[in-house]
Amino acid sequence: MSVQPVGAPAPVDQVLELACRAPSVHNTQPWTWRVSGSRVDLFADFRRQLVYADPGRRDLLVSCGAALHHLQVAAAGLGWAARVRRCPDPGDERHVASVQLRPARPHAEALAQLDALTARRTDRRRLTSWPVPQERLNALAATGSVWGAQVLPVVDPSMRGHLERLTRHADRVQRRNERYLSELAAWTAPSPAQGVPSALRPVRDPSEGPEPGNVADLAARRFPSGTLADPEVDPEPPADGMLLVCTSSDDTISRVRAGEALSAVWLHATREGLSLVPLSQAMEVEETRRSLQGDVLGDLACPQMLVRVGWLPLSRPDLPPTPRRPLSEVRTVV
Ligand SMILES: Cc1cc2nc3c(=O)[nH]c(=O)nc-3n(C[C@H](O)[C@H](O)[C@H](O)COP(=O)(O)O)c2cc1C
């Protein structure tokens, strides 16, 4: 799609097209938009909840938060300033945000963010062994924290090991549920508009055991094997950094803010050439989420999202964008 950021503000539909490029759990795109002139309201679409993977609707609301952040980035890059009210209607928990747009000249930073928005992908291919320096992790964390969440770099090896074990345990718990597996199959079936396509799922040998210490491998394993090949395999074990996105409470607005923070960190990582993949399973299973909150965070914060970040081989081919539903399905004009 062509983006024309100069002159008069772009049509609101163009802003929404870009907002819909936001990441969402299993690419469910659980949102709808209501447009009235230059006012845009964002609603969570509970009909698109992953009932078995995400029984508490955390991922759904985090996805809506990511869409809200994408909306703000798209608006700024296309000539609009956005005033956002989060969860404006206490009587309607689906009403995620009300956004008033007004014309404003885009600045250079807004245009760079817009480029990152269109370039961002979930890339689950194997990372290289180049470590992510701690200063980079700290800078990513600081970006997320501006959006009202706490983003913690996980650098202690025993802590990393613990988070990895919790993710594997959550995966085992989920896979014991036939209905979870059917839901996963439905969202990985071929579709022109939603779900996680085979072309974006790494090819893997199901008999391979997990590589110790490699969280990257956990990202590839959530989904059935696909057709995405690794162009070049580093003989050394992959290295990656981890970040934990947390909030001070666990209500709707906190989850929305966690999604905005996730999106902000992801765009920052994209601009740095780093690949980011969310690992949400430990938050989806109540037993592992409680352990994460109590044993790891000492009940001082609520975990919302774990992500791994790392470097992919420079020689990798770019990935195509994951499909999205047409705007006409998710936007009403009133
Ligand atoms: C709340 C949330 C949870 C996610 N959980 C995972 C996950 O556990 N594993 C994974 O590989 N991708 C995960 N993703 C990434 C989505 O699968 C991805 O955003 C979606 O397929 C759309 O692809 P795109 O990000 O390339 O546009 C998650 C994304 C969000 C927003």
196's CB contacts (< 8 A; 6+ apart) are 26, 27, 187, 188, 223, 322
279's CB contacts (< 8 A; 6+ apart) are 167, 215, 218, 219, 222, 306, 307, 308
The pLDDT of residue 216 is 58
CB of residue 278 inside a 6 A radius of ligand 1? yes
Residue with the bigger pLDDT between 9 and 225: it is 225
Q: Specify the ligand 1 atom closest to the Cα of 220.
A: 11
Q: Specify the ligand 1 atom closest to the Cα of 21.
A: 27
Per-residue pLDDT tens for 176-226?
999 999 999 999 999 999 999 999 999 987 666 656 556 557 777 899 999
Homologous superfamily of 134-310: NADH Oxidase (3.40.109.10)
CATH architecture assigned to 12-120+323-333:
3-Layer(aba) Sandwich (3.40)
Distance CA 62, CA 75 (A): 20
Residues composing the chain: 334
Q: What is the mean pLDDT of the chain?
A: 93
Per-residue pLDDT tens for 91-105?
999 999 999 999 999
- Closest listed residue to residue 262, CA positions, set 281, 241, 247, 284: 247
The pLDDT of residue 5 is 47
Q: How far is the CA of 27 from the centre of ligand 1 (A)?
A: 6
Distance CA 277, CA 311 (A): 11
Which residue out of 24, 125, 183, 304 has the highest number of ligand 1 atoms within 8 Å of its CB and is therefore the one to mutate?
24
27: left (phi over 0), alpha (psi -120 to 50) or beta: left
Which residue out of 17, 18, 26 has the highest number of ligand 1 atoms within 8 Å of its CB and is therefore the one to mutate?
26
The pLDDT of residue 259 is 98
The pLDDT of residue 207 is 64
Per-residue pLDDT tens for 240-267?
899 999 999 999 999 999 999 999 999 9
Residue having the nearest C-alpha atom to atom 31 of ligand 1: 24
CB of residue 32 inside a 6 A radius of ligand 1? no
Domains of the chain, residue spans: 12-120+323-333, 134-310
Q: Does the pLDDT of residue 8 top 60, yes or no? A: yes
The pLDDT of residue 213 is 55
Q: Specify the ligand 1 atom closest to the Cα of 60.
A: 1
Assess contact for 256 and 63: CB atoms under 8 A: no
The pLDDT of residue 119 is 98
User: Is 0.75 topped by the overall pTM?
Assistant: yes
Distance CA 176, CA 187 (A): 18
What is the widest separation between alpha-carbon atoms in the chain?
A: 57
Average pLDDT of span 114-123: 98
Q: How far is the CA of 212 from the centre of ligand 1 (A)?
A: 23
Task: Find tokens 């929404």 and name the residue.
Answer: 16
Residue with the bigger pLDDT between 234 and 190: it is 190
